[in-house]
């Protein structure tokens, strides 16, 4: 069964600092991977997705993620944090065929300190 | 493209009552998913439809839960005899299946259920 582990339930960074949110997946074959963001009392918004076309994926709001098969990781980064980035971030996986329900990690809450 | 909408946004009910939630997907999307999210957790899959056909149900979906998508457009999720453990955010997502690996799910704002 597919699973996703997000290391760190809460990450705090200063405004302007690097954001790094960690995600590791377990899968027998390289899957499709997603990062979603959730603001308070809202649904999930897609940040970016990996579908095997390129290992470095650029998303919205300056975020990007790199797929590393050898490390089974798909960490999310942003060079410079803004106050508006404070939210809950979820990593999710679906099998290599895609087109199936997503399996989510437990999420990482990002706080940005002025 | 108006996005995925859900109604109501909030529902407070007493234990034992029945509740029904509605989801309107993005208009051309043929897949519709229901997830449940409890506090401090990621969303968990409940069930999904392709057009009007229900393709899969999670073990989380007890007999008290039923979902329909009668005309392949909007969907309803009903919970009968609600229990306090049903308190959660219920999220709906839709996608357009156009080939292998093309499914990107877009989420609605969710319905927050509180069972007293």
Q: For B16-73, what is each residue's pLDDT tens digit?
A: 999 999 999 999 899 999 999 998 899 999 999 999 999 999 988 889 999 999 988 9
| Strand A108-113, strand A10-14: pairing | parallel
Percent of chain B with pLDDT over 70: 97
C-alpha A57/C-alpha A44 separation (Å) is 19
Query: What is the mean pLDDT of the segment spanning A96-114?
Result: 88
- What are the chain B neighbours of A98 within 8 Å (beta carbons)? 100-103
Q: How is residue A100 written in tokens?
A: 């199936």
Contact B107 A106 (CB under 8 A): no
pLDDT of residue B100: 66
Residue A30 has pLDDT above 80, yes or no: no
pLDDT band at A53 (very low <50, low <70, confident <90, very high): confident
- Substitution target from A98, A101, A103, A106 for chain B, most B beta carbons within 10 A: A101
Distances (CA, A) of A109 to A6, A9, A12, A95, B7: 11, 6, 8, 26, 27
Could you give the count of Cα atoms lying within 13 Å of A76 in the half-sphere of its Cβ?
32
Nearest residue in chain A measured CA to CA from B30: A99
pLDDT band at A20 (very low <50, low <70, confident <90, very high): very high
Residues 6+ apart with CB under 8 A from B75: B22, B23, B25, B32, B34, B49, B67, B68, B69, B92
pLDDT of residue A44: 93
Contact A100 B103 (CB under 8 A): yes
C-alpha B21/C-alpha B108 separation (Å) is 12
Please say whether the beta carbons of B50 and B75 come within 8 A. Answer: no
- Substitution target from B49, B56, B101 for chain A, most A beta carbons within 10 A: B101
Residue A96 has pLDDT above 80, yes or no: no
pLDDT of residue A59: 95
C-alpha B64/C-alpha A41 separation (Å) is 26
C-alpha B65/C-alpha B88 separation (Å) is 14
Contact A98 B101 (CB under 8 A): yes
What is the distance in angstroms between the Cα of A74 and the nearest Cα belonging to chain B?
17
Q: How is residue B80 written in tokens?
A: 């009968």
pLDDT of residue A98: 65
What is the distance in angstroms between the Cα of A31 and the nearest Cα belonging to chain B?
10
pLDDT band at B97 (very low <50, low <70, confident <90, very high): confident
Contact A43 B104 (CB under 8 A): no
More confident residue, B71 or A87: A87
Contact B42 A90 (CB under 8 A): yes
pLDDT of residue B1: 55
Residue B111 has pLDDT above 60, yes or no: yes
What is the average pLDDT value for chain A, to the nearest integer? 91
Residue with tokens 């060079």: A79
pLDDT of residue B71: 86
Provide the H-helix boundaries in chain A: none
Specify the range with the lowest mean pLDDT, choosing from A18-32, A76-90, B37-51, B91-105. B91-105
């Amino acid at each position: 069964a597919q699973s996703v582990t997000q290391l760190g339930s809460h990450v705090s960074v200063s405004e302007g600092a690097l954001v790094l949110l960690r995600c590791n997946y377990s899968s027998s074959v390289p899957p499709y991977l997603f990062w979603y963001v959730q603001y308070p009392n809202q649904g999930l918004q897609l940040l970016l997705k990996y579908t095997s076309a390129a290992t470095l994926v650029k998303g919205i709001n300056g975020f990007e993620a790199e797929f590393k098969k050898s490390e089974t990781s798909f960490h999310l980064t942003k060079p410079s944090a803004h106050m508006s980035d404070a939210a809950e971030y979820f990593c999710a996986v679906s099998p290599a065929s895609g087109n199936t329900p997503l399996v989510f990690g437990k999420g990482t809450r990002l706080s940005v300190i002025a | 493209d108006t996005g995925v909408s859900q109604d109501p946004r909030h529902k407070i009910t007493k234990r034992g009552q029945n509740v029904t939630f509605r989801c309107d997907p993005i208009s051309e999307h043929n897949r519709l998913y229901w997830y449940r999210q409890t506090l401090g957790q990621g969303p968990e899959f409940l069930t999904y439809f392709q057009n009007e056909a229900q393709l899969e149900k999670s073990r989380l979906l007890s007999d008290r839960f039923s979902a329909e998508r009668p005309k392949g457009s909007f969907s309803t999720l009903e919970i009968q005899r609600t229990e306090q453990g049903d308190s959660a955010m219920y999220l709906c997502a839709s996608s357009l299946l156009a080939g292998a690996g093309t499914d990107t799910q877009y989420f609605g704002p969710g319905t927050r259920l509180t069972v007293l």
